[in-house]
Amino acid sequence: MKKCSHSEHETLTQLNITPLLDLAFVLLVIFIITTTPIVNDLDLNLPTAARHQKDPPRKANYISVQADGKIYLNTKKVGISDLLQTLVGLRMDDPDLNIVVRGDGKTKYRQIRAVLDACQQANVMKVDLATEPAGQF
């Protein structure tokens, strides 16, 4: 009595690639159909758009912090409490106020943090930190 016949349980040693080829052809057809042809060989006179005057770029306000702790808003020397009041006034005039904080390389971080805190308390959303590009080595 045979327990198992060898012909019935033959191992699969070849990979059936027919479904893979079907998938490849379907994807190829989809890519061919969805790709729009580039038509540049027709001579057309396209309509021109009316020129829209661009808004002038907003002037950024600069807060400079020197190494000794002096703070300048643009070119005017201010204290940290005056800075907050001035920023609130500027933001009331221009809700889209841009501030660029420029700190000396030897400035203590707590002074820069105080300026950033004043900007946050004045609800200024656009604050950038100015840096110099690093030298090439």
Q: What is the pLDDT of residues 40-89, one digit of tens each?
A: 555 656 566 666 655 555 688 888 888 888 888 888 898 888 888 998 88
| Gyration radius of the chain over CA positions | 34
- pLDDT by residue (tens digit) across 98-132? 888 888 888 888 888 999 999 898 888 888 888 77
- What architecture (CATH level 2) is domain 66-129? 2-Layer Sandwich (3.30)
pLDDT at 28: 92
CA distance 100 to 126: 8
Domain spans, the chain: 66-129
pTM beyond 0.75, yes or no: no
Which band of pLDDT confidence, cut at 50, 70 and 90, is reported for residue 94? confident
pLDDT at 137: 45
Q: Are 90 and 97 in contact (CB under 8 A)?
A: yes
pLDDT at 25: 92
